[in-house]
Amino acid sequence: MIMLTVTATEASRRFSDLLDAIEAGETIVITRGNRSIAEIGPARRRTGVDLRAVLVGTAPPDDAFEADIAEAVGHLAVDEGDPWAAA
């Protein structure tokens, strides 16, 4: 794994270049005042295996699930237009 260290100022100035490096597999460490404050690396590709691992032990939806969702949606506010129009 290639790791590149840059200052926060440099990161802001070269952000597009840093994204290209990250896309190529590099990890970027961003520093401020000689302290590491962030580490940015390639996004991990999510799969069905990840979802399955998260849902292990979770009970499937019961028969009332669809009705519960419909009730919750019914409580959502209706779009009333631009809230700033009268401001």
Query: What averages of pLDDT result for each successive group of 10 residues across the chain (87 residues)?
Result: 88 95 94 94 87 87 89 79 74
pLDDT at 81: 73
Burial group, residue 30, by CB count within 10 angstroms (0-12, 13-18, 19+): buried
pLDDT at 33: 92
Domains of the chain listed by start with CATH number:
3-40 (3.40.1620.10)
pLDDT at 12: 94
Q: Give the largest Cα separation in the chain, rounded.
A: 57
pLDDT at 41: 95
pLDDT at 3: 86
